[in-house]
Amino acid sequence: MKAEDVIICRCSDVSLKDLYTLFEQGYDSFEELKRIKRVGMGPCQANTCGKMVQWEIAKYFNRSLEDVKFANMRPFTLGVKLDAIKEACDDEDE
Amino acid sequence: MKQCESIIIGGGPAGLRAAKALLESGARVCLIDRNASMGGQLIKQTHMFFGSEKQHASTRGISIQHKLLSDVMRYGSRIEILSETHVVGVYQDKVIACMKDDRFFKMRGEAIIIATGASEKHLPFENNDLPGVYAAGAVQTLMNEYGIKPGHKVLMVGSGNIGLIVSYQLMQAGVEVVALAEAASQISGYHVHASKIKRHGVDILTNTSIKRALGETEVTGAELWKLDESWQGIEGSEWTIDLDTICISVGLAPLSELFQQVGANVEYVRELGGNVPVIDNTYQTTIDGVYACGDAIGIEEASSAMVEGEMTGIYAAHAMAKAHPNESTRLKALEEELAFLRSGPHAEKIRVGYKKRGEVS
């Protein structure tokens, strides 16, 4: 299998080979992969890639899926322009 | 900041029925959905539903949507609908942040019901990012909502009910389904759906999966292979099929990001599809006043989502001191209905999942 042609995260273009490289370096949690490769941080917010990342970690490190912690989720779920937040604050001040 | 009595995030079968129960109880409801029309997945379901007469069996999904929506619209000024509105944040003080077009605004509710449904799972295989690789739900949206064929020759991967139903709908739209591949040793959806597409000459290939998509700039074919008992591909068993579309239907995962955002306890329960919130017997999450129902708390059928939605609405109303006129009789009937819907052999996974969740919570 050409792991470089298996795309795990479409938003940030992270392949299975990228994950394997990080696994070999000892990174074994979703949070670490996210911080290094931005997997799960794009527009889909891990809704497409998340389950595959969880699965690949479990498979590579021979763990059960229940033992692979999912990435932390924080607001916002979409990109929000600072300008839009400023406008909302201005409206509230009035 | 705008104040609301109850805020429902997600206008699918669960959210709409939760809205109805709250409205019947005298509450005011703000129903939010990121899509243009309410109804969630119902709006693209052109087939008739199974399950229970009480939950509209033998009715087409799209007609159920009309019914559920008119049930809430007749409450006039007490129901506010915000369509094409994304909830981008949920906070512990029951404030939600929204985006509609380019406008950002916040609202606070006494009760928040999260009924966000599910997203489709994807598969890791070579060239899985080629144009022409679709999720089954996306194909259904293209065809049934926008009237666009996804391609001419399709491979369906996955034989759950969605894979089977979408295969049939593709054929109805005049698209050739060249094969249906299933990794397990047997078909996982209802046999009534499977035999319908078999009768139309579609091969359902068990112990089979996609090894890679073929094509340079778009899908021109697929390489399939047989799987052994531990779901590993067997070298040398590969063969190729010419086609222009690969449709992935390998299950759904609850959309749990809002639960995680608000800090509610979330557990991984594989039988329920993935990360699901811990809930008590009133469908309240571990955050006071934040409730959850429908596929967002475990992948099931639309019928169960409707029952759960109504129960959640009744409980949320009760907590706001707005009792539903038939609270106890209605709750009892809904409990029985849910037990009936989860009684068949196909619901075994659900029963195991709910038992597990009971243990973790």
Give A23→chain B minimum CA distance, Å. Answer: 17
Q: Are residues B72 and B156 in the same domain?
A: no
Query: Please, are residues B245 and B215 in contact by the beta-carbon 8 Å criterion?
Result: no
Distance, in angstroms, between B259 CA and closest chain A CA? 9
* pLDDT tens per residue across span A20-68: 999 999 999 999 999 999 999 998 899 999 999 999 999 999 999 999 9
Task: Determine, for residues B102 and A84 on separate chains, whether the beta-carbon distance falls below 8 Å.
Answer: yes
Residues on chain A touching B275 (C-beta within 8 angstroms)? 70
**Helix, strand or coil for residue B27?**
coil
What sign for the dihedral angle of Cα A23, A70, B352, B253? negative
Q: Which residue of A has its CA nearest to B91?
A: A75
What DSSP character marks residue B143? Answer: I
**What integer is the mean pLDDT of A6-12?**
95
- Dmax of chain B from CA atoms? 66
**Residue A82 CB neighbours (<10 A):** 8
Average pLDDT over residues B282-288: 97
CB-based contact A84 B103, cutoff 8 Å: yes
The pLDDT of B261-277, averaged and rounded, is: 94
Residues B53 and B144 in one domain: no
pLDDT band of B56, cuts 50, 70, 90:
confident
**Residues 6+ away with beta carbon under 8 Å from B356:** B269, B271, B272
CATH of the domain at A70: 1.10.10.1100
Q: Are B128 and B40 contained in the same domain? A: no
Average pLDDT, chain B: 94
- Tell me: do B152 and B98 sit in the same domain: no
CA–CA separation, B153 vs B171, rounded Å? 10
Mean pLDDT of B314-326: 95
ipTM above 0.95, yes or no: no
Closest residue on chain B to A11 (Cα): B129
B103, closest residue in chain A (CA to CA) = A84
CB contact under 8 A, B104 and A45: no
pLDDT at B49: 80
Report the C-alpha gap between A21 and B328 in whole angstroms: 58
In this structure, the answer to whether residues B101 and B44 fall within a common structural domain is: yes
Chain A nearest C-alpha distance from B177 (Å)? 24
Predicted confidence at residue B359, as pLDDT, reads 61
Residues of B in contact with A7 (CB under 8 A): 124, 128-129
Q: Give the per-residue pLDDT at B151.
A: 97
Select from B228, B248, B268 the last residue of a domain: B248
For residue B204, the enclosing domain spans 122-248
Task: Give B51's contacts (C-beta < 8 A, 6+ positions apart).
Answer: B57, B301, B303, B341
Among the partner-chain residues A7, A74, A87, the one whose CB lies closest to the CB of B128 is A7
What stretch of H or E contains B318? helix B302-319
Show which residues on chain A lie within 8 Å of chain B, measured between beta carbons: 1-2, 5-8, 10, 16, 45-52, 55-56, 65-66, 68, 70, 72-78, 80-81, 84-85, 87-88, 91-92
Q: Do A6 and B124 touch (CB under 8 A)?
A: yes
Tokens of B351: 């029963």
Residues B11 and B115 in one domain: yes
- The whole-angstrom separation of Cα B253 and Cα B33 is 19
Give CA torsion, residues B133, B135, B138, B140, to 10 deg. Answer: 110
CA distance B262 to chain A (A): 8
State which residues form the domain around A71. 3-93
B204 strand-pairing partners:
B180
Q: At CB < 8 A and 24+ separation, what contacts does B282-287 make?
A: B282/B312, B282/B315, B282/B318, B282/B319, B283/B308, B283/B311, B283/B312, B283/B315, B283/B316, B284/B315, B284/B319, B285/B114, B285/B259, B287/B92, B287/B262, B287/B263
The DSSP bridge pattern shows strands B245-248 and B290-292 to be unpaired
Number of domains in chain B: 2
CB B102 within 8 A of CB A84: yes
With 80 as the cut, is the pLDDT of residue B51 above it?
no
Query: Which domain CATH number covers B19?
Result: 3.50.50.60
Res B361: pLDDT: 47
In chain A, the number of structural domains is: 1
What's residue B349's pLDDT? Answer: 87
Minimal Cβ distance to A66: which of B90, B253, B268: B268
The domain boundary, picked from B196, B214, B248, lies at B248
Residue that is last in its domain, among B248, B283, B307: B248
- A73:B261 CB<8 A: yes
Angstroms from B359 CA to nearest CA on chain A: 14
pTM, to two decimals: 0.95
| Helix locations, chain A, DSSP H | 16-24, 30-37, 50-60, 82-93
Asked whether A63 and A57 are in contact (CB, 8 A), the reply is yes
Q: Are B262 and B242 in a shared domain?
A: no
Residues in chain B within 8 Å Cβ distance of A8: 124
| Residue B27 and residue B71 in one domain | yes
- Is B253 within 8 Å of A46 when comparing Cβ atoms? no
Measured CA to CA, the distance from residue B162 to residue B134 in angstroms comes to: 13
Secondary structure of residue B32 in the 3-state scheme: strand
Contact yes or no for B94/B110 (Cβ under 8 A): yes
Nearest CA in chain A to B97: A76
pLDDT tens, residue by residue, B338-356: 999 999 887 888 899 988 8
Interchain contact, A84 vs B104, CB within 8 Å: yes
Q: What is the 3-state secondary structure (H, E, C) of B197-263?
A: HHHCCCCEECCEEEEEEECCCCCCEEEEEEECCCCCECCCCCEEEECCEEEECCCEEECCHHHHHHC
Q: What are the chain A neighbours of B268 within 8 Å (beta carbons)?
A: 65-66, 68, 70
